[in-house]
Amino acid sequence: MEITNLNQILHFSPNGNNLLTIIHDGIKKNVISSLCKGNGKCGKCRIHISGELTLDSAAARKMNPPTNVEKQLLGDAIFKDIRLACQVIPGDVDLKITILDLSEYQDNIFKIQDSYSNYQLNFPFHPRLFVQNLSVPLSTLENAQDDFSRLLSANEELTTKPPPVINPEILSRIAHTLRGENGEVFTVIDRQDSKLIEINKQKPQLLGAVIDVGTTSIVATLIDLEKGIILGADSIINPQIEFGRDIMSRLTYALASPFKQQQLQNKVLSGISELLISLTSSSDSSPTNIYEVIVVGNSAMHHLFLNLPVTGLSRAPFVPVISKELSFFSTDIDKEKNLSKLPNAIITMPPLIGGFIGSDAVVDILYTGFNQKEGIHLLIDFGTNSEIILSKDSNLYAASVAAGGAFEGQHIACGMRGVAGAIEKFKIVNTDYQYQTIQLTKPKGICGTGIVDILAELLVNGQLDYRGRLFTESGELIKKIILVPAQKTSTNQAIYLTRKDVEAIQKAKAATLAAIRTLTTHLNIGIEEIDSVNIAGVFGSNLNINSVKTIGLLPNLPNECFIIQGNTAEKGGRTFLLSMDARKTANTIATSVERLELTRFPNFQSFFTEGLFFPKLENKS
């Protein structure tokens, strides 16, 4: 099989597997987008059959004909030699195909740098790990102390504490390292646990990393621990998405068997390993120089990362196995050696709040200082699982809500993540559809911020009504609006918005708004009393506030009340990494937040139902 846009020839034997499985197994990487695990539901795994083999050729008859699923999802595109890879069962035939929707593993230029700007460390710079240059006295006949004791005597930091914990592997290298070089050595010291992490004759590059494990995406940053600066950042789709797009579907999968839960852990660990290997390579470094990795995420991502039992999270009252901060070497949890390229890394998991509100919410609060704010403030971290935090005179209340993946391009026919080619801004000017894509390339699809803009513009121009129905410019009811014609896109496929797409956003919007109203009602707070609405997350970093208010995604407050905070999970994780004082504060925050389980409040459902509607505007409809 020749895959034209990957410049790759793949040899396979027909065995009854579909093309999606054959290609991914052969290349050992998910190169075709497929959000539904190849179950024929998302329609993303489109391929174009070209060359000698077309659908009406004799060779093509060795394949199965288009299925009902393809007819429903592809329509007339089938007659243009387009199929879904998950539906094609090839026979003994040579294939020449083009993948129309390459997985974003291949194109993960994420708009993360913008969301990390304006970072300020509001705690003393005091990382857990530091490099110390020591001059160790040489052994003599007069002073024949053992090697380890001589090392300790040269280290003022450790002589004032109990003897440090030491890895036997490091212990075995001390003798060799202390010989020669006139006793000059470099050590990596763990302040928190009084550990000797490394000893070497050459000064090591001391690196740390922050991993934000979201339900949909994993974002990684590589940080110089001696200077506190970012060396690189990157992201991928969370590879666990293969086993379910939302939290509950992954928990259900994990509960089916220990083997399946292990699969989920392997997926996330291998994805993180790939990210960090790539980032260190780009920074002319090595993953062996990463000495601490801070991992933040919601409680489900936390438990699946650690391969902890998820029974308590699968049903009310949603109790995690452990909420306290955890720290261990990468080898302690990595049975399958997914992290083998990071042998020196300490993995640290900041504390959880409880329920599905995890360490990402803790570090959100840590970075924004919500635990010290006077007045009434909201913090909303948008995602597949969104966290809403309310601060009332420094008293903290939090809730989480399943918003679905619509804000990140999921459940949207032409939706995609915020990568090159995604429409991120949209405007209607005199009936002309104008748009801007990420990196200003030819449009490929629509990311979350673009979808919000599109809905707002259609509402204002009367092509969308408050119930979510779509109309032509002349007022005719329709099921789909073409936004970009096929000849202007990079895929030669039209980009459009459907009634189902609108429904997905309506549900995500309603869930978020209902959570806010439930919190404020419970605390007897009027919406007009809110002093600020802080928007977190990569999606939130690029939102048009006017569009947000137009579609009723957030309360209708003056624009100056809205503060774009950027990726506070990463910023807070970085703060946690760079300051021991910040770690203490984070642990205090985790125990001081009052968690509200929204399903306990009868008005949550009525707020959700009300939130499904868009605001009524003076428009053509």
CA 222/CA 568 separation, integer angstroms? 16
Tokens 């230029």 — which residue? 109
Q: State which amino acid sits at residue 432.
A: D
Q: Report the number of secondary-structure helices (H) and strands (E) in the chain.
A: 17, 28
pLDDT tens per residue, range 62-71: 778 889 888 8
pLDDT for the residue 420 = 83
Q: Residue 551 — pLDDT band, cuts 50, 70, 90?
A: very high
Higher pLDDT, 249 or 102: 249
Place of tokens 């075995």: 172
For residue 347, the Cα-to-chain-centroid distance in whole angstroms is 18
Give the integer Cα–Cα distance in Å for 367 and 120.
Answer: 9
Range name among 86-90, 158-162, 235-239, 484-488 with the lowest pLDDT average: 158-162
Q: What is the pLDDT of residues 166-195, one digit of tens each?
A: 666 777 778 778 765 567 888 898 888 778
> Which one-letter DSSP state was computed for residue 163?
P
pLDDT, tens digit, for every residue of 31-69?
A: 787 766 677 877 778 888 875 545 555 555 677 888 988
pLDDT at 155: 73
The count of other CB atoms within 10 Å of the CB of residue 28 is: 7
Asked if 452 contacts 408 with a C-beta cutoff of 8 angstroms, the reply is no
Among the residue ranges 93-97, 171-175, 273-277, 448-452, the one predicted with the least confidence is: 171-175
Cα dihedral sign, 456-457-460-466? negative
Sheet holding 562-566, edge to edge: 562-566, 532-536, 376-381, 385-392, 395-402, 594-595
CA atoms of 196 and 129, how far apart (whole Å): 10
Tell how strand 229-237 and strand 207-213 pair up: unpaired
56 Cβ neighbours under 8 A, 6+ residues apart: none
Task: Tell me which of 230-234, 331-335, 405-409, 550-554 is least confident.
Answer: 405-409
Domains of the chain, with CATH numbers?
Answer: 2-99 (3.10.20.30), 129-200 (3.10.20.880), 207-349 (3.30.420.480), 369-405+506-611 (3.30.420.40), 410-498 (no CATH)
Using CA atoms, how far apart are residues 409 and 298, in angstroms rounded to an integer?
Answer: 20
Q: Is the pLDDT confidence value at 106 over 50?
A: no
Indicate yes or no: pTM above 0.85.
no
Omega before 443 within 30 of 0, i.e. cis: no
